[in-house]
Structure 1
Amino acid sequence: MERGLLVLLLLAAVHRGTGCGLSTCPAAPEGFLNVHLIPHTHNDVGWLKTVDQYYYGAKNKIQHAGVQYILDSVVQQLLADPRRRFIYVESAFFWLWWQQRKESVRRDVIRLVQEGRLEFINGGWTMNDEAATHYSPIIDQMTHGLQFLQSTFGECGRPRVAWHIDPFGHSREQALLFAQMGFDGLFFGRLDYQDKTNREKTKQMEMIWRGSDDLAAPSADLFTGVLPNGYNPPDQFCWDQLCTDAPIMDDPQMEDNNVDAIVINFLKAAKTQAGTYLSNHIVMTMGSDFMYENAIPWFTNMDKLIDVVNAQQVNGSKVNVIYSTPSCYLAALNRANLTWPVKVDDFFPYADGPHMFWTGYFTSRAGFKRYERLSNNFLQVCNQLEAITGPAASHGPYGTGNSLLLRRAMGVAQHHDAITGTAKQHVNDDYTLRLHKGWETCQVVISNALSSLTGTKESFTFCNLLNISVCRTSEEAKSFNVFLYNPLGRAVTWNVRLPVNGVAYTVQDPSGRAVTSEVSPVSAFTKDIRRDKGTAQRDLLFQAQIPPLGFSKFTVQKVSAPERFFTKTKKKISPSKIENKYYRVEFHPETGLISGIYNLVKGIYLPLTQNFYWYNASDGNADSTQTSGAYIFRPNTSTPIPVSQSVRSYLVQNSLVQEVYQNFSSWCSQVVRLYSDQPYVELEWTVGPIPLRDNLGKEVISRFDSKLQTNGLFYTDANGRQILQRRRDFRETWSLQQTEPVAGNYYPVNSRIYIKDKNIQLTVLTDRSQGGSSITDGSLELMVHRRLLYDDYRGVGEPLLEPGQYGTGLIVRGRHLLVLDTPKDSADVHRTLAIQEYMSPQIILSPGNGVSYDSKQNPISQFSALRTPLSNNIHLLSLAVHEPHKLLIRLEHPFQAHESSNYSQPATVNLQEMFSTLSFSEVEEMTLSANLPKNKMSRMRWRAAGASDHPREDKSYSLDPTNITLNPMEIRTFLATSQYRKPDAHS
């Protein structure tokens, strides 16, 4: 039979429907303590080895692991006995394995899935981190993995339970996202050791996690369980080839028969565990990292364990052991109809012992964290243009491309040892390479799409080193075009900065009108960083207006001018202040440091000092041998050391920008910047290579000190969305015994952190995920870079040294945006800025010698894919091709319910009339992960402590695509069958 026909028959069998799901769960009799054995393997998508090395089983001297053999072995053992069950989690690995298997194996796997004996749990492309991840790529990577399972196995392949057994702390926003994806529950393995002890004593290891204050219960509620042994088997019951526990020796004639001892030990372990849980059902995870490469010893011994323990029931034992899955276990808990405690905060920071806070990875590999954030920005642009222009984006004058490679690379980058910065150096290099290859294919998509939309074939250039003033096209060309694509649903004013070598240029907007431009010298800081990568002596600056979900084309021409033309840019040593119409920034006359910020519009002044400091990383001391490493942050003192007490500084200013260049040391500098129309203060910092000549590891922070009375409170975002209140040296659900006054108060900051009193709020926005805190009242600090001499003994086996391109240590450049406002009005600014930071315009250059793309189309220099701009409280979160002729559209209300008098109200949009180049014949609302129609989502109901009633989730809505309403913090997801229209020119 031909391969294609057989595949079609297999898929038809999947979609005919079978007995998969909860109907296949084994019986769990009443009156017994039911022990649910969950055979599983945990497969890191890169950590000590690369993704490919793990899959194929290469480099086993580093770690013995081969994912392909795990899946091969498990499938054979499941086929050998119908009692057996197994769960699998990481779709990235399973997808690769599935592509390489024969139809006969696929047929067996489909049958196992249909019978509920091979069950997919979680189902994302990876098991993503929850601290350093942004909500946008979290949703994307979950969608990509779940879409693969849905298209391959149909409804039987749809996971019902989230499974985050290894991430190092857990986010409230992640729980909310899982709930909106339709999951019935979440199980995880890691929580603070003090929290776990308290929960075991009070039988609160399982709970209802309320994921939002803004969305009504129970839509934001998620049943959440803490696994008893992390994700490992109970002591003495590990039967993998990697383990050393004794097998069950059940021959009654043999001298070493150990059945009685096995039974006694197991019943003791079950009884002890049951004493810490609320129901008569308990769970045991039978597996761990990369186990089941040889599944025979596992299943052989679990078969025997079930038999010998259950045989004791004739003697009055009330313990019953079964093969199970997380969804079967969850269903049993649901049937118990108990009342569960409610949790409303999150599970950060995580510590696995005194002095052992896993808060270093919030910042580790700061360069990669920025590249991942930029890659998400680029992927959204790629997705949008692929959706807006259809086939013309995938197949055009620049070749064939699609967003798939970058989508998968971004999925891998969300893994809890990737974005966290906790993999070995060669693995992190592989993550970076995967993203780079994804960028290359998306550059083809964007080039094709721009040619189709503009009607001109250009030689497009993507200048990805603009932050260090490198771009060959702008440096060398006498004239060139600048295309700016805006992925936001509202118009954006953007300050463009391009490296050049001329002294004067003219810039024309899409209508041919002259645009004010300036030329400013490239700083010595930047020249030192870029070395021989570029030659630009100056930067060309101009301000661009870009329409929503569209582009503007600007024409740049080098002109001859006398040297006096260049004197507009003034340079002044030791400036006292800079000022635009929004802000004044003042500098101390002696130290040169920032001394105050004035919001001129609101009339708010805040005396404020900003400086860089470093914590001396611990190499172990009398209190604990714990060192600071990739995972763990542990300074050897609570008092950081200033990089410098004063700075050398100078001012560069012209009609568009004012910049104060501050030099703190040979390895630390900063530019304090105010563009003419910019409603925030920009701090562009450059740190590295962090020196190690003194044999001290260093954790570098940027700290802001004020006299605000903050009473131990500060605020951080959760994955870029919700804002959570933090209290120093305090945990919501237990009495904290603090052992690390700095590291124990660090939290993940994905986009912003702030402090406030009754009248003033100081917000700092970040351009990547970082660790941050308020160690003293009125103070904020963000860790920007770290370089360490020791491993922290959590498995990675090497110090976080990052040699960088030249082997001398990594240099990191980034931005902090400062907003000073009233607490009442701050959200209007920081919500809008946070979205703009991760969805910023993409700059594409061309030499301007294009030829006509289509003789029937006039060239277009400005375009918007939207008929009208979206308001600030409607965000186009996703626009992507889901399958041929079907688009995935997500609309988000980015504000919380009570934070803005202007935007915290419901917002309405007409989806049918939203786009200028698209029309829809069918629109269907889906769950957040787009793998289930919203009207078919039926989640388990739970009794929550303190709830007066137990409402059902509202399904009474009827979808009207012309009238889509979003409430605060709501995301609505749609699949739309699309047709394309040619764009009209926008002037």
Structure 2
Amino acid sequence: MAARSQQLAAALLSLLCGVSCFPLGQETKQTLTCGYESCHATKPNMLNVHLVPHTHDDVGWLKTVDQYYYGDRNDIQHAGVQYILDSVVDQLLKNPDRRFIYVETAFFYRWWKQQSSSMQQTVKQLVNEGRLEFVNGGWCMSDEATTHYSAVIDQMTMGLRFLNETFGPCGRPRVAWHIDPFGHAREHASMFAQMGYDGFFFGRLDYQDRARRMVKREQELLWRASNSLTPPMADLFTGILPNGYNPPEGFCWDQSCDDPPIRDDPDLEDYNVDDVVKRFLTIANSQAMVYKTNHIIMTMGSDFQYENANLWYKNLDKLIRYVNGQQANGSKVNVLYSTPSCYLQELHRANLTWALKTDDFFPYADDAHDFWTGYFTSRPALKRYERISNSNLQTCNQLEILGGPVSRKGPFGDGESQTMKKAMAVAQHHDAVSGTEKQHVANDYARRLANGWQHCQVLVSNSLTALSGSSAKRIYCDNLNISVCPLTESSKKFSVNVYNPLARPVAWPVRLPVNGTSYVVSDAEGKSVDCQVVPVSTSTRDVRRNRGFAVNELLFQVQAPPLGFTTYSVSLLQDGPPPASTQHRTPTAIQNKFIRVTFDPDTGLLSSLSNLETKQTIKLTQNFYWYNASDGNNKESNQPSGAYIFRPNSSTPFIISKTAKTESIQTPVVQEVRQWFAPWVSQVVRLYGDSRALELEWTVGPLPIDDDLGKEVITRLDTSIKTSEYFYTDSNGREMLQRKKDFRPTWNLSQSEPIAGNYYPINSRAFIKDDVDQLTVVTDRSQGGGSLQNGSLEIMLHRRLLYDDVRGVGEPLNESSGVFPEGLVVRGCLRLSLDRPPSAADAHRPLAQQVVLQPLLTFTDGDLHPNTQLEFSGLQAALPPAVHLLTLTQWDKDSVLLRLEHQFQSQESKVNSHPVTVNLQKLFSTLEVLGVSELNLSANQWKDDMTRFHWTPQTDEKPLLKTFRDSSVWEVTLRPMEIRTFLLRVSFR
């Protein structure tokens, strides 16, 4: 049995790492001096200054990814990543003392593929000697406010896998490095800890927080990033860099810099070595005063620097030589080439205790009126498209496995899913989904996602064909949200295949554009399904323009099996009943057996919300408002609102309308109240027959700018809930964090922007509560929001601004498109649920997952072949409610990567906040699991091999990671908020 286990482990390691990785048991025989072994010696009785040569290469920002790589469009920004890597490698070879770190695998992967085999061997040697070191290592440096944790894990896995397969253990980063994101999420820290990083460095934090930390010497700390995971599982040592990611003032020697070089010929009139050394020693000693040890770090580089690395290294060599030369005269400063991991190792060796942090670093402000909270909502259409693309990618990954090898046959070769994976990975960049890029770059991100989905559609069609036995052509309708689908609009008979990417059954409403007035819908068993035809709303006709011509919509509820599909047949009835008619009045109420919603007949607005199961009712009014954006021309500050920064020119928003014009539809399938607030704001309040959540489908735009003022549009929910100024938001779609108005848990806030300074990222949900009631709002994309008065929750929906906010992007956030040249129109949906606080999570967590991973609809025209399999599930049984199947993706020919997560926090639910056991051998219906081995979260280390530095917090407690043993190799137990990653060797049954 032991020999078999060793053989299995060796086989799995080969699958995991590829041929470049060291086989088990041979790693110690290699002469590797990378990582901590490659660090230069320091001097214990001196101030050691760690110089870190680096470049920060945005994966798109002012230029597209391609333009940045090739050095194109230098009229926008002089930057060419391929030349940076060429130049750095050349300079590293000239002096073995030199070091360089590289971060963005998306760029390095592209460069590596273009190198000769001899150059690749040279670079491998530099990596093996620790002279070129990878830090962070994800495909990109992701945003932390507007990214969903599942997409972040995917992009990190992609980058780290390439490094692992290419360079083996020396390619594995030891340090997470987020030097540019605009605020930092607790869930990111938790993920980095579970990925095996020893530490995390970043550059941006609130100016008030930094000032306090400098005084207390707490710019290096221990971040406890989960309330549920047993310490130190989610503990991450975190360092705040002294100069953002730039060099100290006066010490920039790139071709884009203006600082003078070190002129060290004493016969020259402008000899400046003495001045350089004096200034450097002053800066170093000053920096040492606000850090805790006799080691300090200096980032020597910046945006797209080192294109001519000779400039940097020639001056850094001199700086080290001349500063260290002063030691003979009694100087106590020692300068050395270093890396973040070498600096981290010295901090660990100091064996100190560190301040403990348990909240996050939002919101971020770099001055009194400069809160970077606008990007939480910027480019809302792109944010929604990224979220849909994530759902499509997970479906593509799953069906690639469930459908077998035939899924990958198509016009794009065997890599249909890779294009989508790379597009989604790039979209996580902190100037992508964040919305802080130039417009032409945003268009490029969207184009990449569209191209990726086109590739994945081939794979999905192949897989569904294999699983169903039907070779009928599959049609995809990607514009159903605006009631556009040419097939359903014209066909008299068609079928709808509904694939559910969740590992539990899902009930989901389907809305299809049709031109008939009556239809019959049958499920996979041939049973008739309740359906309803309703007229397309005026706002939908307005927003779709000439892209579709359906006059009606067909509505019915589908029931989809876990990790599988079901099929519904739709036929036009010639003499059926007419469609539901609209009533031009405001109903008193709409309700089903779970929810009751009342309206004020005078205003047409919501007035209350009731949960009929729990017999609770709250007052609830909802309306739309806008903040006029500051143009930067006032006495307090010249800071305008822009892509990054939210700065309203008044604390009181303008109400768009105190009343709503309404019409209503009430049927057994759906009840709708359609509201119009202005020509550019409308909404549908919608309640389906079996739903426990109320839908608010909003349509906003084009935002009017005739008054020459930018506008930031919000919706606000005002309730009778007694919140005491507290509210709650999710962190990257996972754990919930408590927020309080005008308050920060770790310092005494001096609030200067009462609106923008109280906005937080809402990635998938937020709630307000008291002891009796909890109102949860689930969003369909990342948005910004806050609770600015008791019982209130506001969410920003759309922004249109006329000024640049002077943070580098160089253009106002004034979106338009070919369809909307007069300004962008955006549509989205909020889902509201009312519950008792102890049990609310049982409802909102599954709902949030369902919104993130929505069923995929595909269509076929006419009758299906009689032998078609109409229903399929990839699981033998649904997973328990507490367990979410996070990842199922092809890893290698005979192996798949599986992630299972416990989706509840500890003590969050009386029912679901308990350990759950899953049997991996009894999981899949079409796959036989032959072997299993557990990995860390990013799948670049065996779980048992993952060792991390231990750090001691400034508390009396001594946290120790409890060791839990599964009952068998096949039965795995998940505890609250735990994600477990497995490599499975499989065969098809």
- TM-score bucket of the superposed structures, by smaller chain: over 0.9
Q: 1:102 aligned to 2:110? A: no
Q: Residue 766 of structure 2 aligns to a residue in which SS?
A: strand
Greater Cα offset, 38-47 or 258-267? 258-267
Q: 1:581 aligned to 2:593? A: yes
- Please say if residues 695 and 832 of structure 2, whose CA atoms lie closer than 8 Å, have aligned partners that are also in contact: yes
Q: 1:693 aligned to 2:693? A: no
- Please say if residues 533 and 579 of structure 2, whose CA atoms lie closer than 8 Å, have aligned partners that are also in contact: no
Matched residue type, 1:439: W
Report the Cα distance in structure 2 between the residues aligned to 1:357 and 1:287, rounded to whole angstroms. 26
Q: CA deviation at 1:884?
A: 1.9
Partner of 1:969: 977
Instruction: Please point out which of 717, 731, 735 is paired with 2:748.
Output: 735
Q: CA deviation at 1:961?
A: 3.7
Partner of 1:253: 267
Q: CA deviation at 1:792?
A: 0.3
Instruction: Please point out which of 919, 922, 931 is paired with 1:922.
Output: 931
Partner of 1:891: 900
User: Which digits, 9 at most, give the CA deviation of each residue in 1:391-439, with x for residues without a partner?
Assistant: 1110169975521111100010000000110000000000000000000
Report the Cα distance in structure 2 between the residues aligned to 1:460 and 1:23, rounded to whole angstroms. 56
Partner of 2:653: 640
Partner of 1:464: 478
Partner of 1:40: 54
User: Which digits, 9 at most, give the CA deviation of each residue in 1:919-976, with x for residues without a partner?
Assistant: 122111000000100000000011111043253x456746834211000000000011
Identity rate, percent: 57
Q: CA deviation at 1:733?
A: 1.1
Matched residue type, 2:328: V
Instruction: Please point out which of 948, 955, 971 is paired with 1:946.
Output: 955
Report the Cα distance in structure 2 between the residues aligned to 1:281 and 1:958, rounded to whole angstroms. 42
Matched residue type, 1:511: E
Q: CA deviation at 1:516?
A: 1.4
Instruction: Please point out which of 796, 812, 837 is paired with 1:799.
Output: 812
Report the Cα distance in structure 2 between the residues aligned to 1:468 and 1:935, rounded to whole angstroms. 50
Report the Cα distance in structure 2 between the residues aligned to 1:979 and 1:859, rounded to whole angstroms. 24
Matched residue type, 2:929: F
User: Which digits, 9 at most, give the CA deviation of each residue in 1:321-356, with x for residues without a partner?
Assistant: 110001111011101101111001100000000100
The equivalences for 1:107-506 within 5 A come to: 107-395=121-409, 402-506=416-520
Shift in CA distance, 216/281, structure 1 to aligned 2, threshold 3 Å:
same
- Please say if residues 906 and 968 of structure 1, whose CA atoms lie closer than 8 Å, have aligned partners that are also in contact: yes
Partner of 2:716: 703
Q: Residue 780 of structure 1 aligns to a residue in which SS?
A: strand
Report the Cα distance in structure 1 between the residues aligned to 2:248 and 2:968, rounded to whole angstroms. 52
Report the Cα distance in structure 2 between the residues aligned to 1:959 and 1:939, rounded to whole angstroms. 26
Q: Residue 917 of structure 2 aligns to a residue in which SS?
A: strand
Q: Residue 614 of structure 1 aligns to a residue in which SS?
A: strand
Report the Cα distance in structure 2 between the residues aligned to 1:241 and 1:161, rounded to whole angstroms. 28
Matched residue type, 1:152: T
Matched residue type, 2:114: Q
Report the Cα distance in structure 2 between the residues aligned to 1:849 and 1:675, rounded to whole angstroms. 29
Q: CA deviation at 1:513?
A: 1.4
Q: CA deviation at 1:638?
A: 0.5
Report the Cα distance in structure 1 between the residues aligned to 2:828 and 2:175, rounded to whole angstroms. 38
Report the Cα distance in structure 1 between the residues aligned to 2:256 and 2:651, rounded to whole angstroms. 41
Q: 1:874 aligned to 2:883? A: yes
Matched residue type, 1:830: H
Instruction: Please point out which of 582, 605, 611 is paired with 2:623.
Output: 611
User: Which digits, 9 at most, give the CA deviation of each residue in 1:254-289, with x for residues without a partner?
Assistant: 222111111111111000000000011000000000
Matched residue type, 1:302: L
Shift in CA distance, 605/843, structure 1 to aligned 2, threshold 3 Å:
same
Report the Cα distance in structure 2 between the residues aligned to 1:796 and 1:818, rounded to whole angstroms. 36
Report the Cα distance in structure 2 between the residues aligned to 1:529 and 1:710, rounded to whole angstroms. 37
Greater Cα offset, 255-264 or 721-730? 255-264
CA RMSD of aligned residues (A): 1.6
Matched residue type, 1:545: Q
Report the Cα distance in structure 1 between the residues aligned to 2:892 and 2:873, rounded to whole angstroms. 24
Shift in CA distance, 8/531, structure 1 to aligned 2, threshold 3 Å:
closer
Q: CA deviation at 1:506?
A: 1.1
Report the Cα distance in structure 2 between the residues aligned to 1:226 and 1:350, rounded to whole angstroms. 14
Matched residue type, 1:821: D
- Please say if residues 397 and 457 of structure 1, whose CA atoms lie closer than 8 Å, have aligned partners that are also in contact: no
Number of aligned residue pairs: 967
Report the Cα distance in structure 2 between the residues aligned to 1:146 and 1:959, rounded to whole angstroms. 31
Partner of 2:5: none
Q: CA deviation at 1:9?
A: 9.4
Q: CA deviation at 1:695?
A: 1.0
Report the Cα distance in structure 2 between the residues aligned to 1:569 and 1:980, rounded to whole angstroms. 51
Matched residue type, 1:974: F
Partner of 1:824: 838
Q: Residue 365 of structure 2 aligns to a residue in which SS?
A: coil
TM-score (norm 1): 0.96
Shift in CA distance, 672/734, structure 1 to aligned 2, threshold 3 Å:
same
Matched residue type, 1:646: T
Q: Residue 583 of structure 2 aligns to a residue in which SS?
A: strand
Partner of 2:4: none
- Please say if residues 923 and 974 of structure 1, whose CA atoms lie closer than 8 Å, have aligned partners that are also in contact: yes
Q: 1:931 aligned to 2:940? A: yes
Partner of 1:671: 684
Report the Cα distance in structure 2 between the residues aligned to 1:479 and 1:947, rounded to whole angstroms. 70
Report the Cα distance in structure 2 between the residues aligned to 1:493 and 1:608, rounded to whole angstroms. 27
Report the Cα distance in structure 1 between the residues aligned to 2:288 and 2:718, rounded to whole angstroms. 50
- Please say if residues 800 and 815 of structure 2, whose CA atoms lie closer than 8 Å, have aligned partners that are also in contact: yes
Q: Residue 162 of structure 1 aligns to a residue in which SS?
A: strand
Q: Residue 175 of structure 1 aligns to a residue in which SS?
A: helix
Q: CA deviation at 1:253?
A: 2.1
Report the Cα distance in structure 2 between the residues aligned to 1:282 and 1:774, rounded to whole angstroms. 40
Partner of 2:606: 594
- Please say if residues 398 and 448 of structure 1, whose CA atoms lie closer than 8 Å, have aligned partners that are also in contact: no
Shift in CA distance, 207/25, structure 1 to aligned 2, threshold 3 Å:
same
Matched residue type, 2:197: F
Q: Residue 448 of structure 1 aligns to a residue in which SS?
A: helix
Q: CA deviation at 1:721?
A: 0.5
User: Which digits, 9 at most, give the CA deviation of each residue in 1:623-642, with x for residues without a partner?
Assistant: 00000000000000000001
Report the Cα distance in structure 2 between the residues aligned to 1:19 and 1:883, rounded to whole angstroms. 30
Partner of 1:3: none
User: Which digits, 9 at most, give the CA deviation of each residue in 1:465-508, with x for residues without a partner?
Assistant: 00000001111111111000000111011111111111111111
Report the Cα distance in structure 2 between the residues aligned to 1:514 and 1:698, rounded to whole angstroms. 48
Q: 1:715 aligned to 2:728? A: yes
Instruction: Please point out which of 753, 775, 779 is paired with 1:766.
Output: 779
Report the Cα distance in structure 1 between the residues aligned to 2:68 and 2:202, rounded to whole angstroms. 23
Partner of 2:912: 903
Matched residue type, 2:733: G
Report the Cα distance in structure 1 between the residues aligned to 2:964 and 2:561, rounded to whole angstroms. 37
Matched residue type, 1:913: K
- Please say if residues 517 and 579 of structure 2, whose CA atoms lie closer than 8 Å, have aligned partners that are also in contact: no
Partner of 1:985: none
- Please say if residues 699 and 826 of structure 2, whose CA atoms lie closer than 8 Å, have aligned partners that are also in contact: yes
Partner of 1:630: 643
Long gaps (5+) in structure 2: 1-16
